[in-house]
C-alpha cells in the first residue's frame, strides 16, 4: 500500500479531506522544503480564547511567506471552535486529543511558540525544530524569548511602565515581528463561519425579537470570570443604553453574553426600558459568533467579543478600563472609548474602587462611538455620506 506521508492533506488517524487512499490520488501535494517556501510549521497558542483568535491575524502573512508549508496549530480544546475550518490551518490539534499526540514526535522546520505559560513553553523547547520563535523555557524553569524579534513583546510582561504607559504598538504588530514576518501589515483575525452558521445567527436575532429591517446594536455585557470588570455593571449599561437611544433614535438593542453572564445580561435587560431584547446565552462559541455576525455593530469591552467582531467584519465601540487600548487594532471599524481614571490600565482581575474604571466611563463618549460604529451622523461626531 502506498502512503504519502509527506502530503499536506495526509492525516493518518482518519481520512483526509478527499477521503481517498494515497495510491494514485490526484490531490497528492507534497510538503515543499522550507527553502522553497514550505516546510512544517507548528503554532502553539492555547489561551486565552480572545488571544487565540486574535493570533490568527498572523496567518495570511505566514502563508505568503511559506505558501506550500504544512501549518499545524496546537491549541486548547476550548479554543478549537474558534479555529475550526480556517483555510490557512492544515492541521488543528487540541491538547489531549489523538491528533495532538502525533505532534510530539514530529520534527518541524519552524515552531512559533506564542504562549507565555510554562507548560506550553516547555513543550516548544522539547520539540524538534530547525528554528524556534517566540517563547521557550530555560533549564532552571524560567521563560525566555527564543529569538531577538520576540524580546520586545516578551518585555511587556516584565515592565508595567512599558506596557501601561510607553508602548504604542499593537498586539498584531508585535506578533508579526515575533514570528519573523516583519514588513507585513497587520490584518484582521480570521474566523471561518459557514453560510449555515451565519443563517443561525440571523435567526437567533430575529427569534429574540429584533424587528425586521431595524438597525440592531449588540450590547455585549459579559466578560467571563477572569476579568469580570472588563465591562460595566448592569446599572451602567442601562445608562449607556439610554444615551445611545437618545443619540440614535430607533436603534434596537440586543443584549449578548456567554453562559456565565446570564445573570448580568438579565439585569441589564431589566434595567433598559423598551426597544431591546436578549439573545439566550450559549456555550457554543460558533453560535455566539454567528449571533455577533448578525449585528449591525456592537458595544463591548476588550473581550473575546471584540476579536470575534474583527474576525466577522462587525464594527465595534470598544470600552477600555483595566486593559491597554494601544494594543488593539479596530480592524472592522468603530471607535475606542477609554476610561479616564488615573489608575487605568492596571490588569487587575478585581477592583476595590467605587465606581471602578468601567463604571466611570463617559456614556456620552460611548454613545458617540456606537453611532460611529453604526455610521450614523450625530452632533459632534463624524459625518457620513
Tens of pLDDT along 111-139? 999 999 999 999 999 999 999 999 999 99
pLDDT at residue 377 greater than cutoff 80: no
pLDDT at 100 over 80: no
CB atoms within 10 A of CB 14: 8
For cell 495510491, name the residue.
23
Among residues 18, 19, 25, the alpha carbon closest in space to that of 4 is found at 25
Query: Which helix H or strand E contains 269, and what residues bound it?
Result: helix 262-271
Q: Domain ranges in the chain?
A: 34-178, 195-374
Q: Quick one: cell of 100?
A: 495532538
Is 195-374 a CATH 3.40.50.2000 domain?
yes
The residue-averaged pLDDT of 315-325 equals 96
Higher pLDDT, residue 380 or 197: 197
What length does the chain have?
A: 385
195-374: same fold as 34-178? yes
pLDDT of residue 187: 96
Contact in structure between 30 and 36 (CB atoms under 8 Å): no
More confident residue, 376 or 145: 145
The CATH superfamily label for domain 34-178 reads Glycogen Phosphorylase B; (3.40.50.2000)
Which of 344, 347, 373, 380 minimizes the C-alpha distance to 360?
Answer: 344
**Contacts of residue 357, Cβ cutoff 8 Å, sequence gap at least 6:** 229, 321, 322, 339, 341, 343, 344, 351
**Gap between the Cα atoms of 245 and 227, Å rounded:** 28
Query: What's the pLDDT at 210?
Result: 87
**pLDDT per residue over 248-279, tens digit each?**
999 999 999 998 899 999 999 999 988 999 99
CB 22 within 8 A of CB 2: yes
> Would you say residue 224 has pLDDT above 90?
no
DSSP three-state, residue 130: strand
Mean pLDDT value across residues 40-67: 96
Residue 196: its pLDDT value, please?
97
384 has a pLDDT exceeding 50: no
What confidence score (pLDDT) does residue 385 get? 44
pLDDT of residue 347: 87
Q: What number of helices (H) and strands (E) belong to the chain?
A: 14, 12
Cα–Cα nearest to 121, from 107, 141, 104, 140: 141
Average pLDDT rounded to a whole number, residues 290-295 = 96
Amino acid at each position: 500500500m502506498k502512503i504519502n506521508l509527506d502530503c499536506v492533506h495526509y492525516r493518518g488517524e482518519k481520512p483526509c479531506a478527499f477521503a481517498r487512499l494515497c495510491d494514485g490520488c490526484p490531490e497528492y501535494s507534497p510538503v515543499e522544503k522550507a527553502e522553497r517556501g514550505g516546510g512544517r510549521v507548528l503554532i502553539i497558542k492555547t489561551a486565552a480564547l480572545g488571544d487565540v483568535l486574535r493570533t490568527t491575524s498572523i496567518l495570511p502573512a505566514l502563508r505568503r511567506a511559506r505558501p506550500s508549508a504544512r501549518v499545524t496549530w496546537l491549541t486548547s480544546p476550548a479554543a478549537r471552535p474558534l479555529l475550526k475550518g480556517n483555510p490557512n490551518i492544515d492541521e488543528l490539534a487540541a491538547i489531549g486529543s489523538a491528533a495532538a499526540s502525533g505532534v510530539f514526535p514530529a520534527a518541524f522546520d519552524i515552531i512559533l511558540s506564542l504562549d507565555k505559560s510554562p507548560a506550553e513553553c516547555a513543550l516548544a523547547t522539547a520539540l524538534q525544530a530547525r528554528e524556534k520563535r517566540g517563547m521557550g523555557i530555560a533549564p532552571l524553569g524560567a521563560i525566555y524569548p527564543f529569538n531577538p524579534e520576540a524580546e520586545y513583546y516578551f518585555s511587556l510582561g516584565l515592565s508595567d511602565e512599558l506596557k501601561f504607559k510607553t508602548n504604542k504598538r499593537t498586539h498584531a504588530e508585535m506578533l508579526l515581528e515575533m514570528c519573523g514576518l516583519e514588513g507585513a501589515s497587520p490584518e484582521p483575525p480570521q474566523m471561518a463561519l459557514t453560510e449555515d452558521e451565519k443563517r443561525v445567527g440571523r435567526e437567533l436575532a430575529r427569534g429574540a425579537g429584533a424587528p425586521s429591517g431595524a438597525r440592531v446594536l449588540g450590547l455585549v455585557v459579559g466578560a467571563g470570570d477572569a476579568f469580570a470588570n472588563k465591562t460595566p455593571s448592569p446599572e451602567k449599561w442601562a445608562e449607556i443604553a439610554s444615551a445611545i437611544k437618545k443619540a440614535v433614535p430607533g436603534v434596537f438593542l440586543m443584549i449578548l453574553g456567554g453562559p456565565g453572564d446570564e445573570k448580568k445580561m438579565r439585569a441589564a435587560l431589566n434595567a433598559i426600558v423598551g426597544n431591546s431584547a436578549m439573545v439566550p446565552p450559549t456555550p457554543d462559541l460558533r453560535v455566539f459568533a454567528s449571533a455577533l455576525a448578525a449585528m449591525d455593530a456592537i458595544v463591548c469591552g476588550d473581550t473575546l467579543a471584540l476579536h470575534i467582531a474583527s474576525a466577522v467584519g462587525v464594527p465595534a465601540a470598544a470600552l477600555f478600563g483595566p486593559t491597554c487600548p494601544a494594543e488593539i487594532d479596530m480592524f472592522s471599524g468603530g471607535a475606542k472609548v477609554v476610561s479616564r481614571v488615573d489608575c487605568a490600565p492596571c490588569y487587575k482581575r478585581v477592583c476595590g474602587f467605587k465606581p471602578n474604571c468601567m463604571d466611570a466611563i463617559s456614556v456620552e463618549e460611548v454613545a458617540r462611538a456606537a453611532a460611529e460604529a453604526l455610521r450614523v451622523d450625530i452632533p459632534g461626531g463624524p459625518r457620513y455620506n
